[in-house]
A and B are shown apart, each in its own frame.
Chain A
Amino acid sequence: DQQVKQNSPSLSVQEGRISILNCDYTNSMFDYFLWYKKYPAEGPTFLISISSIKDKNEDGRFTVFLNKSAKHLSLHIVPSQPGDSAVYFCAASVGAQKLVFGQGTRLTINP
């Protein structure tokens, strides 16, 4: 039972353009969402989060959008930079408890 899904295993974007990573969830009880980024041979690192009482959260080049009615989460990176090439995981939680992660999307930024 995959409660959090990232349907695109990979995404390729040109440097300077916008990268949009998507995440869908099935559990309507999820009330907090996070994005983690992972480089090869390293553990994931926290990127940005959003509570279900908001529909947008911005941090520099990174913006997360939450559409509760569609049970859809997206991460926008603009402008995309070569250092953004990594695997991105979305995660969700109910009541600040354990995180449920998606399968990840590999983002490649092309020069």
Chain B
Amino acid sequence: DSGVTQTPKHLITATGQRVTLRCSPRSGDLSVYWYQQSLDQGLQFLIQYYNGEERAKGNILERFSAQQFPDLHSELNLSSLELGDSALYFCASSVNLEAIDEQFFGPGTRLTVL
């Protein structure tokens, strides 16, 4: 158990819909990262927040957005969903803001868009 929790574990929805994925980082961790893992693909970095502020952006679509709240939990919002958005979405956390610090990953949310 990494100490990072993600809800829900599974999500099935239809094209055009909007969903919210939630992540609670390890106690004391200020950085939260979001990653997408599509079928047969590696982890694609989406976005990083550090202590409530956006820190770094990766290959995140404009239809996707995220935020980190004062209690440090984070939400990833995916809208106008397409079939290609079906993937595993991981959240990770770390103490500091540097991405090379050990990141602790949650178990992921599997999103299926039908």
Q: Is the CB of A41 within 8 A of B100?
A: no
B100–A46 CB distance below 8 A: no
| Contact of B98 with A96 in the complex, beta carbons under 8 Å | yes
Does A43 contact B2, Cβ atoms closer than 8 Å? yes
| Partner of B41 from A41, A43, A93, A103 at Cβ < 8 Å | A103
Chain B proximity of A54: nearest CB distance (Å)? 14
Q: By DSSP majority rule, is chain B's interface helix, strand, loop, or mixed?
A: loop
From residue 36 to 95 of chain A, which have CB atoms closer than 8 A to chain B?
A: 41-46, 49, 89, 91, 93
- The DSSP consensus for interface residues of chain A is loop
Q: Is B42 an interface residue (CB 8 A)?
A: yes
Q: What A residues does B2 contact at CB under 8 A?
A: 43, 45
CA distance A46 to B105 in the complex (A): 9
Q: Are B107 and A93 in contact (CB under 8 A)?
A: no
Interface size on B, residues (CB 8 A): 24
From B48, which residue of chain A is reached at the shortest CB distance? A98
The number of chain A residues with a CB under 8 A from chain B is 24
Interface membership of B49, Cβ < 8 A: no
CA distance A41 to B1 in the complex (A): 12
With contacts A43-B90, A93-B99 known, is A102 near B42, CB below 8 A? yes
Q: Which residues of B contact A (CB under 8 A)?
A: 2, 4, 35, 40-45, 48, 56, 58, 90, 92, 98-100, 102-108
Closest A-B pairs by Cβ, 9 of them: A43-B105, A96-B98, A101-B42, A101-B43, A103-B42, A46-B102, A98-B45, A32-B100, A96-B100
